[in-house]
Amino acid sequence: MAVKALISNVNRHVGEEVRIGCWVHNKRSSGKIQFLQLRDGTGFIQGVLVKNEVGEQVWEKAGQLTQESSLWVTGIVREEPRSPSGYELTLTNVEPIHITQDYPITPKEHGVDFLMDHRHLWIRSPRQRAILTVRSEIIRAIQQFFDERDFKLVDPPILTPSSCEGTTNLFHTKYFDEDAFLTQSGQLYMEAAAMALGRVYSFGPTFRAEKSKTRRHLIEFWMIEPEMAFVEHEENLEIQEQFVSHIVQSVLRNCEKELKVLERDTSKLEKIVGPFPRITYDEAVEFLNKNGFEFPWGEDFGAPHETAIAEAYDKPVFITHYPTTIKAFYMKPDPNRLEVVLCADMIAPEGYGEIIGGSQRIDDPALLEARFDEHELSREAYQWYLDLRKYGSVPHSGFGLGLERTVAWICGLDHVRETIPFPRLLYRLYP
């Protein structure tokens, strides 16, 4: 009896007969031999069917198979150094499950809109499979990083009564008779969790009704938000550079095949080990003004500015100490210079933009209350958040890593739309 196997583990079955549930990715025939390119999601393998060996009936069944038809195959696993997977199947039987007619995504080129309309099928292609595999590895590496450092995973709510990152891009919904918003960031809740569990992180979807149609913006994206009690600005940056180095090095180690499919220049990723360069906002402004921009102090950077700064480095760069006026209400002012805050954005190399935003948080209740007023936030809605400063306030810091921008950078993609299985973009909610 043939053993049931996955393409990813045929190496354990060399010389044995295996049975694999799969789809036809492609096929070609040369008279008395059919070559089936098979995929089962875990990998790709070539199945070779020889007419004289399998007989007329099996040969004809195989002849009906079309691109993306589903089937069971039975075959002997052989080592094949010339094949990309290193293995091949000498087929002894094929049992079609479903014969596909007119699969819309053919090996020819398709436009982006067409592919996006067929995203549910597009994810079957080798390139999309490679991206989603790297995404999965990044998530695994993230969980490993925090597990090894005594962090607890905490899940903040998705439906919230108030905003975290400003009120301009909130998704509004009704919560029975009350107003509610989809979360922009779990941070405020993570601060409460850090006071309970010390070191925590969340991993979940966040939503921003941003009317930006850029290659870096999603409406729904996934964020990893660590929050740490008794950690100040400097240590916050050190943890971030260890974190990002760990993610990149894990992908290099465990996704060699996928990075090859994506034709990623891995020499660029090999350089991603801490420490990362740090410049202040002031230095960044000076740099821009020396390099062809007219950039006034006090404004926020846009994509072209971030790219120009990133190009000066081959590692991610921290930009620290932004003006208080352009950052979130909860950031702690630099005690030596109250007009700037103890924050940092991490800008990825190669033009991928900001992948992390983080800061030390205000721990003084009076200052926080003053900020509520300046930002016109209702004290009532944030009473619980103020409580964290009234009962055993401690210095604490945290940050948020945008998963999709990180995937785009590590995979070397032009656009974040390919980094998530079903992207929610401006004007795209289907499929």
Residues that bind ligand 4AD (CB under 6 A): 164-165, 185, 187, 208, 210, 217-218, 221, 223, 225, 354-358, 398-400, 402, 404-405
Q: Please choose which of ligand 4AD, Mg ion, none residue 225 contacts, taking the beta carbon within 5 to 8 angstroms, the exact cut-off set by kind.
A: ligand 4AD
DSSP E strand stretches across 31-114: 33-39, 44-50, 70-79, 87-98
| Residue 208 contact partner, candidates Mg ion, ligand 4AD, none, CB within 5 to 8 A by sort of partner | ligand 4AD
Specify the residue, 46 or 187, whose C-beta has the smaller distance to ligand 4AD: 187
Please identify, among the stretches 21-29, 331-339, 357-365, 388-396, the one whose residues bind Mg ion according to the rule CB under 5 A: 357-365
DSSP SS3 for 315: coil
358 binds Mg ion (CB under 5 A): no
> Residue 75 binds which one of ligand 4AD, Mg ion, none, with CB within 5 to 8 A depending on kind?
none
- 119/216 with CB nearer ligand 4AD: 216
Quickly list H helices, 209-293.
233-254, 256-261, 266-270, 281-290
Helices (H), 171-232: 187-197
Q: In the complex with Mg ion, which residue's Cβ is closer, 40 or 191?
A: 191
> By Cβ distance, which residue is nearest to Mg ion?
357
Paired sense of beta strands 33-39 and 44-50, if any? antiparallel
Alpha carbon dihedral 316, 318, 323, 328, in 10-degree steps, equals 80
Considering only CA atoms, which of 408, 416, 131 is closest in space to residue 257? 131
* Tokens matching residue 397: 């810091």
Instruction: Tell me which of Mg ion, ligand 4AD, none is bound by residue 217, counting a contact when its beta carbon lies within the kind-specific cut-off of 5 to 8 angstroms.
Output: ligand 4AD
**Residue placing its CB nearer to ligand 4AD in the complex, 75 or 316:** 316
398 near Mg ion, rule: CB under 5 A: no
d(CA 226, CA 31): 60
Which tokens sit at 267? 């020499």
- H/E stretch holding 407 reads helix 403-411
Q: Out of 75, 156, 186, 357, name the contact with Mg ion by CB under 5 A.
A: 357
Closest contact distance (angstroms) between CB of 164 and ligand 4AD is 6
The binding site for Mg ion (CB under 5 A) comprises 357
